[in-house]
Copies of this chain bind each other. A is one copy, B any other.
């Protein structure tokens, strides 16, 4: 099981949420809090935006807790919007090109979950990727395939609809190959301004996904942090698993929903796979 974090709001040093806290993402990756989960030692990636530039990506196949370069960067880089992902492979190779977040133009994408029986359906899924996008695929994961399918189905114009089409297509293809429950996912994607966070699975029992409700709560969570004290009220953190132990700090995204973090009011919409791809 992978873990991920999406941050949007006042510029903050990456280390504040990735490294420093007792319950930072890296700490989570070392000490899984629930007995059933395995270690997340199969690679780490972070993607960040600065001042209207295309996103930068740092990806490594070392376990995050061992990566000195990551600590240096997380201490040196401030960003108003960043993604971080810790991988636990579901079978594909451990290599940088299989490490999240994936990037296409100004878009980032990361995923926790899997396409079941991926090796049986991969060929069909990959061949549905648009001709012009195909050469940009660099790795071999189900997660990256989902990204390129969403791009093919119009991610840049209408993210929610394109992901609904992608999921519809993956489910249809899987079922045609006899896979009963083809997809399990929480996904975050962004264009550098808005963050979309999806929670869905064919079985209606999806991996967890949480929003930080209000900045007040996050500040209460880390009262010692001077950086957090200055964060705007629009600042949001979306995570696959809660950081820290403070009750009330996190709202669970309901099954089959997509949360949208954007300037102004955030949105929470129902999510439903579409067959019109």
Which A residues are closer than 8 A to B by beta carbons? 30-31, 35, 38-39, 41-42, 50, 53, 56-63, 65-66, 68-69, 72-73, 75-77, 89, 93-97, 119-120, 122-123, 126-127, 129, 131, 134-135, 137-140
Is B69's CB under 8 angstroms from A69's CB? yes
Q: In the docked arrangement, what's the CA distance between A39 and B64, Å?
A: 13
Q: A75 is contacted by which of B56, B66, B69 (Cβ under 8 Å)? A: B56
* Also in contact, A56 and B68, with CB within 8 A (given A30-B39, A93-B96, A138-B93): no
Which residues of chain B are near A120, meaning CB under 8 Å? 135
Q: In the docked arrangement, what's the CA distance between A111 and B82, Å?
A: 36
A103 → B minimal CB distance (Å): 10
Of all chain B residues, the one with the shortest Cβ separation from A140 is B138
Q: In the docked arrangement, what's the CA distance between A219 and B72, Å?
A: 32
Which residues of chain B are near A94, meaning CB under 8 Å? 62, 66
Q: In the docked arrangement, what's the CA distance between A134 and B50, Å?
A: 39
Known: A39-B39, A61-B66. 16 other contacts (CB 8 A): A30-B39, A41-B65, A41-B66, A50-B76, A56-B76, A57-B72, A58-B73, A59-B68, A60-B69, A63-B63, A69-B69, A95-B95, A120-B135, A122-B135, A137-B140, A138-B140
Is A69's CB under 8 angstroms from B61's CB? no
Which residues of chain B are near A63, meaning CB under 8 Å? 41-42, 63
Which residues of chain B are near A31, meaning CB under 8 Å? 38
Of all chain B residues, the one with the shortest Cβ separation from A127 is B127
Of all chain B residues, the one with the shortest Cβ separation from A72 is B56
Interface centre among A35, A76, A77, A139 (most CB of B within 10 A): A76
Q: In the docked arrangement, what's the CA distance between A146 and B95, Å?
A: 22
What are some 15 contacts across the A-B interface (CB < 8 A)?
A39-B41, A41-B41, A41-B65, A42-B63, A56-B72, A56-B76, A66-B89, A68-B93, A76-B77, A93-B95, A97-B140, A122-B134, A122-B135, A123-B129, A137-B140
Q: In the docked arrangement, what's the CA distance between A58 and B76, Å?
A: 11
* Also in contact, A131 and B140, with CB within 8 A (given A62-B61, A73-B56): no
Q: In the docked arrangement, what's the CA distance between A129 and B126, Å?
A: 13
Closest 9 CB pairs of A and B: A119-B135, A95-B95, A123-B134, A56-B76, A41-B41, A66-B94, A39-B39, A56-B72, A41-B63
A10 → B minimal CB distance (Å): 18
Which residues of chain B are near A57, meaning CB under 8 Å? 72
Which residues of chain B are near A69, meaning CB under 8 Å? 58-60, 69
A61 → B minimal CB distance (Å): 7
Q: In the docked arrangement, what's the CA distance between A57 and B30, Å?
A: 24
